[in-house]
Amino acid sequence: MARDNDPMPQSYEYDVLIIGSGAAGLTVALNLPEHLRVCVVSKADISSGATLWAQGGIAAVMDATDSVEDHIQDTLKAGGGLCHEDAVRFTVEHGKESIDWLIDSGVDFTREEDQQHYHLTREGGHSHRRIIHSADATGRAVSTTLASQAEARPNIELKSGRVAVDLITNRKLSLPGNRCVGAYVLNLEDNHVELYRARFTVVATGGASKAYRYTTNPDGASGDGIAMAWRAGCRVANMEFNQFHPTCLYHPHAKSFLITEAVRGEGGVLKLPDGSRFMDRFDPRAELAPRDIVARAIDHEMKRLGADNLYLDISHKPADFVKHHFPTIYEKCLGFGIDITKDPIPVVPAAHYTCGGIISDERARTDVNQLYVVGEAAFTGLHGANRMASNSLLECLVYGRAAAADITRREADIPAPPEAPDWDESQVRDSDEDVVISHNWDELRHFMWDYVGIVRTTKRLQRAKHRVDLLHSEINEFYSNYRVSNDLIELRNLVTVSDLIICSALQRKESRGLHYTLDYPGLNHDSKDTVLVPTTYRTLSP
């Protein structure tokens, strides 16, 4: 029922609506012509998404000793046989120009001591130094620079404190055609849903790692864009490939703090609660094994012992050495009462990156006309079964610029969006049972972690499928009867995306890349992408 003194519903119209304000969304916005009216909506502050948290850098061929072909081959190898070579080539070939655009935009990348050349680092899987970075906070440099550029553009309106509820399509409006014409968006300040109509809509909402109990991602990574696009009729692919970081600080107040792999590289050892080492039982390289092997070993031992966490210990090194090499980790842990020069660090693996997503092409187009997807929410074919380090920000830049170029080419031919009704709140009421949301949230993230995590079995996946179906039913009933809130929207989307992850994992009868199942430990001879098709899917008209 309507409440007394409720404000009138707000309605907006733009040429381009961009949902998400990370590197992906802001790259699109800043590459659009200035005569287009652009709106960027963001859940929290404009520069608060996953881009801000990125510690590493951006992979691109910037050195004369490197080559496009080498970067392509490194990516294909890392992707476990599932990368699309055309997407890899497209991304790598447009890498340097994307970096040049960032430099022209004002991003201050780290230079060599001579100040003439940019300092390039090398990360796992790369055969050359090709990671351009801004100290150890590249994401922050990119995010804050692009946000300030967007704020200075008179044609770009930035709206924070907004969470998208659902995309609006012709089908939902009972109109002919297969077109996206905007979105309903919840204003978190007054808790009312606003109508945003647009000729073009871009999903740049990031990944879905919040589906898991432990994640390195910010709170907003709840798979909103993937879930909305699925409901709107978009296919998704390879949702079973979730990348986990092996060592995240385990503390109730740590909030997703990573313990860099460099700690193991400098002699840190992983230990069980009784103080014994275990990595040598899983790989001859022990603590220096690749990330996915270490994550699986930790997960195995935690499940075997029923332990909440294991430990990473570098206290056997001199205290001055530890403080000099890891000052940030030392200070952060000390704030939680852990002196890493004397004590082992409690760690757990954590969900880190969603390699699958909404199927898109080289122009970032989806299965629905005038709907684009850029960044972690997208499936471009670049990452395959295992994302290679520092290719993710590159993907945001290359496909963000491609989306902007395609919109620019088409904008003269796309008419204004049709009229659409305001969000109807007349038949719903305020929830007096928010405990249902919090309980379902906890249940979902726990069973996703236990049953659909780093190591899987068919039985575990079937149990998860049974539970996610029950949650779907409960949450849909709740959604139909109560006024929407940020927690309810995110929970609804997380249940949808979790279901997609489970269904994808059940379809893959092999272990490849980030998908490891005890029931099918080997590789299939001819593997292919896992493609899921919604009931609302329509083939695009020419």
What residue ranges in 129-274 does DSSP mark as E strands?
131-132, 156-159, 162-169, 180-187, 192-203, 236-237, 242-249, 269-271
Count CA atoms closer than 13 A to 523's CA, side-chain side: 11
> How far from the centroid of its chain's Cα atoms is residue 491's Cα?
16
Give the DSSP per-residue string, 56-95. Answer: S-EE---STT--HHHHHHHHHHHTTT---HHHHHHHHHTH
Are 9 and 422 within 8 A, CB to CB?
yes
Q: Nearest Cα to 21, choosing from 133, 139, 181, 168?
A: 139
Strands 156-159 and 38-41: parallel
The active-site residue, picked from 291, 296, 365, 492, is 291
Asked if 178 and 171 touch (Cβ cutoff 8 Å), the reply is yes
**Residue 35: CA count within 13 A, CB half-sphere:** 4
| Strand order across the 58-59 sheet | 58-59, 131-132, 120-121
> Given the structure tokens 């292919």, which residue do they identify?
528
Which of 201, 284, 295 lies closest to 245 in space, CA to CA? 295
Told to judge if 291 belongs to the known catalytic residues of this protein, a careful annotator would answer yes
Backbone φ and ψ for 165, nearest 5 degrees, come out as -95, -50
What is the spatial distance between Cα 226 and Cα 415, in angstroms, rounded to a whole number?
A: 26
Mapped onto helix, strand or coil, the DSSP state of residue 170 is coil
Q: Where are the beta strands (DSSP E) in 360-422?
A: 371-373, 378-379
Residues marked as catalytic = 291
